[in-house]
């Protein structure tokens, strides 16, 4: 039996029917491990050690009261067998501060997944710069003139903020360029923030596919998040429909090329996003879609994740 701490959003906010972190917790308990939880703001340095006020819980399947609190205790992070960082974005100063604490805990012997240094070094948008050969035409700039020039060339583009999630702040600008300047000024805070701009990929109608990497190895099924009702965004949080599919050969090849590199850097769980065979984002904070893939294919993603984690702890 191992003690596994999940650093995540409040338990009462979990989306019970589809929460990947809950699926991970459930897999841990089913395997006989203890499940603990804390928030990022619970982490602190006291008595010359990185500690947190942690809640030991029992996970129960079904129903809105899906967990039973067992005990609350201030514990050293290094005393857990694994610390799983699952805090959702935004990637703000509070998040960065939490990773600094986790880096210090790592020096005390804590095993943190994903590794805090890797989390800081891999912006979920900017990490794509290393792999632009797999991406659609892309620029990242705060300069309106750059965006206008890109739009003039490609005519149909997508603009999104660097710190968004779940499709928040994603805009499509068609050939007429309607509201382009206003959107750039608003999203970019009048030039204070850089934006990601990509050529629009018509294959979005077939879905924005999430491919999960576990210790560098791809899960054999993706989740195609298909836009609904005239939306350009396929994100499930934006109303997209999730359909599990076998990986295409191109997705498999790209995943196998970059997966080991990311795993070597301490990124145990990664979510690659593909549209029409193009790599569009590299998600490292709290990749999801475990439940949808498992329910539709029978491939137990949470169990694959746990078996990989256990090997890391041996």
Please say if 125 is a catalytic residue: yes
Please say if 273 is a catalytic residue: yes
Beta carbons within 8 Å of 143's beta carbon, 6+ residues apart:
191
Please say if 2 is a catalytic residue: no
Considering 225, 235, 251, 292, which one is annotated as catalytic?
A: 225
Please say if 160 is a catalytic residue: yes
Considering 125, 199, 235, 292, which one is annotated as catalytic?
A: 125
Please say if 264 is a catalytic residue: no
Beta carbons within 8 Å of 165's beta carbon, 6+ residues apart:
88, 89, 90, 124, 237
Q: Which pair of tokens denotes residue 59?
A: 């996970």
Please say if 172 is a catalytic residue: no
Please say if 86 is a catalytic residue: no
Secondary structure element (H or E) that encloses residue 305, with its range: helix 301-313
Report helix, strand or coil for 126.
Answer: helix
Considering 208, 235, 283, 292, which one is annotated as catalytic?
A: 283
C-beta separation of 47 from 18 below 8 A? no
Please say if 300 is a catalytic residue: no
Beta carbons within 8 Å of 282's beta carbon, 6+ residues apart:
122, 124, 127, 128, 131, 262, 270, 271, 272, 273
Considering 26, 209, 233, 251, which one is annotated as catalytic?
A: 233
Q: How far apart are CA 209 and CA 195, in angstroms?
A: 22
Considering 19, 208, 251, 281, which one is annotated as catalytic?
A: 281
Please return the burial class of 151, using the count of CB atoms within 10 Å of its CB with bins 0-12, 13-18 and 19+: buried
C-beta separation of 217 from 259 below 8 A? yes
Considering 51, 87, 160, 209, which one is annotated as catalytic?
A: 160
Considering 114, 210, 235, 251, which one is annotated as catalytic?
A: 210
How far from 122 is each of 103, 127, 147, 265, CA to CA, in Å?
A: 15, 5, 24, 10
Beta carbons within 8 Å of 196's beta carbon, 6+ residues apart:
125, 128, 138, 139, 140, 159, 160, 161, 162
The catalytic residue positions are: 125, 160, 210, 225, 233, 273, 281, 283
């Amino acid at each position: 039996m191992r003690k596994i701490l999940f650093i995540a959003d409040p338990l009462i906010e979990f989306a019970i029917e589809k929460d990947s972190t809950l699926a991970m917790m459930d897999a841990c308990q089913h395997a006989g491990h203890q499940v603990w939880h804390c928030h990022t703001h619970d982490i602190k340095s006291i008595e010359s050690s990185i500690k947190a006020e942690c809640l030991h819980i029992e996970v129960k399947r079904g129903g809105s009261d899906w967990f039973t609190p067992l005990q609350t205790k201030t514990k050293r992070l290094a005393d857990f067998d694994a610390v799983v960082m699952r805090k959702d974005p935004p990637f703000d100063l509070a998040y960065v501060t939490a990773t600094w604490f986790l880096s210090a805990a790592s020096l005390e012997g804590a095993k943190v997944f994903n590794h805090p240094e890797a989390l800081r070094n891999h912006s979920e948008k900017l990490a794509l710069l290393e792999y632009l050969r797999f991406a659609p035409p892309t620029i990242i700039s705060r300069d309106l003139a750059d965006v206008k020039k890109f739009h003039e060339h490609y005519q149909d583009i997508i603009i999104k903020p660097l710190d968004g999630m779940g499709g928040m702040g994603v805009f499509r600008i068609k050939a007429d360029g309607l509201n382009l300047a206003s959107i750039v000024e608003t999203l970019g805070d009048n030039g204070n923030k850089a934006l990601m701009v990509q050529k629009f990929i018509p294959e979005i109608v077939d879905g924005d596919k999430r491919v999960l990497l576990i210790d560098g190895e791809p899960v054999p099924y993706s989740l195609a998040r298909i836009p609904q009702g005239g939306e350009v965004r396929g994100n499930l949080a934006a109303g997209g429909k999730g359909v599990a599919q076998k990986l295409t050969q191109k997705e498999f090849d790209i995943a196998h090329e970059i997966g080991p590199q990311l795993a070597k850097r301490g990124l145990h769980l990664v979510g690659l996003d593909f549209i029409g065979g193009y790599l569009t984002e590299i998600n490292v904070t709290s990749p999801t879609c475990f439940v949808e893939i498992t329910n539709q294919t029978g491939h137990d993603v949470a169990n694959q994740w746990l078996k990989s984690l256990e090997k890391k702890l041996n």
